[in-house]
Structure formats: structure tokens, C-alpha cells
Amino acid sequence: MRQIWLVVAAFVLAIGAFGVRPATAQEAGPGLAPEDHIMGHTDAPITIIEYASLTCPHCAEFDKETLPKLKAGWIDTGKAKLVFRIFPLNGLDLRAAMLASCAPPDRFYSFIDTLYQSQNNWTRASDPLQALGNIGRLGGVSEDRFKQCLADEQLQKSIVAQAFTASKSYGVESTPTFFINGTNMDPNGAQPIETFDKVLTAAQPKT
């Protein structure tokens, strides 16, 4: 488990070494990647990319308060699709991210939602790792599989590398941060649905 902390510490130090700056208007924002989990229709014209931390209270607030309305009005209607990318801020974050990443692909967003809905429980548990394992078993990830996930060095590195790219290349420095069709949303954070409605309406293709 100590190695997980070292990986996160290296990520934090790397951010400090390179500095964090917002991407300029001339720079392309993040695009879709083959490993992305897409919520919604893959051919939806608007792409929302969310960088979030699983221990972040503001991210949990977005998941509980805004996301259901965003799904109903934009994602389920085929107007937009959402890609959730993990931006770990600590060792527990990384472990939770590894659990979600090891879940069957069709259960990824169910795990993310469960982790946010029960965030106060597992983050404050006397044994957070055991609490995560319990969540995993309820979602079909066995204890052995959970242990294998936590020991997967390649998975650790891929999650941290994605977060490092978000920080260094796209200026992500807080969670949640959203990109709408590659453009950093302003303002970020757990904004109400009215803010997203305004930004997404402006991003709709012109007919």
C-alpha cells in the first residue's frame, strides 16, 4: 500500500515542478481516448469531460444534485455525452479509482455513483480500505479481485499519468473541472443545472 502513496506523492511533486497553468485559447483541450467510459450516445454532438476526485465533496455534490438533471435534459436525449476522468488527490482517492476501474465496463458509472452517494461513509470509516472492499463486493468485485486491482502497478501509473496530463497540458488544478467540446468551462465546480444549460446551449451545433 505504501507504493500507492508514493505514486500519488510523485504526481503532486511533478505538478509543483512543472507548474499548473490554464490552457490558452490556441491550445486544444482534451479529446476522447479509447479507454474512456462514455455516458450517453457516442455520437452526441457535445462532449463533456469531467475531471473529478472521488473524495471531493464538491464532486459528490455535482453527482447528487446536478448530474441527474444533466442526464435527463442533455445526455439521455442524445444532445451531449459525458466522460468521467479521475483526478486523484490522495492515496485513498487512487484506491477508490482503481476499484471503479476494475469493475466491469458496464458498471463503471454505477460504481462512481455509489462511491459518491456513500462518500461520507467510506472516507470516514475506521478502515476505509475495508469499506471500499465491501462496496466492491456488493457490485460484483470479489475480495481477491479487489486485492489484485490494488496491486496492479500499471493501473496505478495509468490513472496518475492521465491526471498529470490533465494538470500539465490542460491546466486542471481543482475538482470538479469540466471541458465542453475541449474548452474549459467557466465557471467550474459543482455548478447548478442552470449554468450547464447556458453553456451547453451555446455549444450546440448551429443549424
> What is the per-residue pLDDT for 153?
94
> What is the per-residue pLDDT for 16?
43
C-alpha 88: how far from chain center? 9
The CA distance from 26 to 16, in Å, is 24
> What is the per-residue pLDDT for 13?
43
Residues contacting 28, CB < 8 A, separation 6+: 182
Domains parsed from the chain with CATH numbers: 2-203 (3.40.30.10)
Residues contacting 105, CB < 8 A, separation 6+: 37
Q: What three-state secondary structure class fits 52?
A: strand
Q: What is the pLDDT of residues 105-120, one digit of tens each?
A: 899 999 999 999 999 9
Q: What is the pLDDT of residues 153-167, one digit of tens each?
A: 999 999 999 999 999
The CA distance from 21 to 105, in Å, is 33
The CA distance from 170 to 184, in Å, is 8
> What is the per-residue pLDDT for 31?
87
Average pLDDT for consecutive 10-residue bins of the chain (207 residues)? 44 42 46 92 96 97 97 98 96 95 92 96 96 94 94 94 94 95 91 96 89
Task: Return the half-sphere exposure (C-beta side, CA atoms, 13 A cut-off) of residue 25.
Answer: 0
